[in-house]
């Protein structure tokens, strides 16, 4: 095969591959440095909520990707609480969290503007496992265990 | 949400009215996991199984499926799609630790903006 044909074939193949997702090395490097371990990502426009491991304890972290630093979450990460799942609204003002505390698993809503944690009871009662807040922060889907079955509850929020 | 269909965890869409819609483009490559929708539901991101775990994004407007192989051949564990579908967060395993990595999708997908969002062009500076 002549070099010219080989070059043309390469160009054709590159053209067929189309646009691809691109890693974000700056932000990914920052996320690696910032915590020993990070899981359960919930991505909003400029916010990333996740569970990070620091000093042997897992906690909820909300990273402002624009400012490239975590924001304080006063009142949320209690020493006796073990977070299991987290989800953030698109504007970063609301966080829904499933956490274990006092040997029970609970669903809570954290409002950053006022720094309050509101416990959200499940009806009928069940054990929450995972939560997903919709973009406007007004509805959430909760994976709940009831009688050995997984169910998904949709909850409207004020 | 993920529902067992014929014993295989399969993604389905549930409307606010409780109606269930299957996703024809995703009848295969189970088990499915970690479904994530964009703002208006145009894009559905999830993890599928094609020999190994593979993150994909379905454009429900045109039915196109975008596979997202990870650099280094790593397996995605969980994912979260930004509401406007400009970025994707992926949880992966790296040297015994969980990591979260971000991907820029802006050259791959049109944004799925919030309904009623005002769109403006950048200010025309330096134009006389």
| pLDDT tens string B89-114 | 999 998 889 999 999 999 999 999 88
Q: What is the DSSP letter of A3?
A: H
ipTM, two decimals: 0.86
CA distance B124 to B128: 9
Question: Mutation test of the interface with chain B: which of A24, A32, A33, A43, choosing the one with the most B Cβ atoms within 10 A?
Answer: A43
Indicate yes or no: CB of A21 within 8 angstroms of CB of B83.
Answer: no
Cβ atoms within 10 Å, residue B12:
15
CATH architecture of A37-156: 6 Propeller (2.120)
A156: Cβ contacts below 8 Å, ≥ 6 apart: A138, A139
Q: What is the mean pLDDT of chain B?
A: 90
Q: How far is A123 from chain B (nearest CA, A)?
A: 17
A28–B114: do the CB atoms touch at under 8 Å?
Answer: no
DSSP class of residue A5 equals H
Distance of residue A132 Cα from the nearest chain B Cα, in angstroms: 9
pLDDT band at A19 (very low <50, low <70, confident <90, very high): confident
Token pair of A157 as six digits:
């929020």
Is pLDDT at B11 greater than 60 in this prediction? yes
Residues of A in contact with B104 (CB under 8 A): 21-24
- B11 close to A (CB below 8 A): no
Phi-psi region of B4 (alpha: psi -120 to 50; beta: other; left: phi over 0): beta
In sequence order, what E strands does B2-96 have?
A: 2-5, 8-14, 20-22, 33-37, 43-50, 52-59, 64-68, 76-81, 87-94
- The answer to whether A31 contacts B83, with C-beta atoms less than 8 Å apart, is no
Name the CATH superfamily, with its identifier, for domain B2-104: TolB, C-terminal domain (2.120.10.30)
pLDDT tens for residues B52-74?
999 999 999 999 999 999 878 88
For chain B, domain boundaries: 2-104
pLDDT above 70 for A3? no
Alpha helix stretches (DSSP H) within B35-116:
none
End-to-end Cα distance, chain A: 68
């Amino acid at each position: 095969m002549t070099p010219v044909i080989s070059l043309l074939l390469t160009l054709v193949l590159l053209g067929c591959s189309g646009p691809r997702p691109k890693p974000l090395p700056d932000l990914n490097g920052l996320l690696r440095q910032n915590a020993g371990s990070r899981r359960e990502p919930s991505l909003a426009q400029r916010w990333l909520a996740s569970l990070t491991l620091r000093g042997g304890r897992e906690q909820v972290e909300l990273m402002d990707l624009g400012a490239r630093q975590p924001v304080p979450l006063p009142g949320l990460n209690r020493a006796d609480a073990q977070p299991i799942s987290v989800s953030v609204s698109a504007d970063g003002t609301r966080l829904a969290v499933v956490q274990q505390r006092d040997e029970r698993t609970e669903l809570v809503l954290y409002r950053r503007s006022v720094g309050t944690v509101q416990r959200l009871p499940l009806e009928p009662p069940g054990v929450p496992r995972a939560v997903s807040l919709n973009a406007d922060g007004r509805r959430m889907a909760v994976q709940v265990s009831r009688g050995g079955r997984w169910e998904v509850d949709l909850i409207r929020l004020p | 949400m993920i529902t067992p269909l014929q014993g295989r965890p399969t993604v389905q869409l549930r409307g606010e009215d409780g109606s269930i819609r299957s996703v024809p483009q995703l009848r295969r490559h189970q088990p499915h996991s970690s479904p994530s929708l964009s703002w208006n539901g145009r894009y559905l991101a999830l993890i599928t199984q094609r020999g190994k775990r593979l993150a994909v994004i379905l454009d429900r407007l045109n039915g196109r499926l975008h596979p997202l192989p990870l650099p280094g051949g790593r397996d995605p564990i969980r994912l979260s799609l930004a509401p406007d579908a400009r970025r994707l967060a992926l949880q992966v395993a790296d040297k015994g630790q969980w990591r979260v990595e971000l991907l820029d999708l802006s050259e791959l997908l049109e944004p799925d903006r919030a309904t009623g969002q005002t769109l403006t062009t950048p200010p025309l500076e330096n134009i006389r």
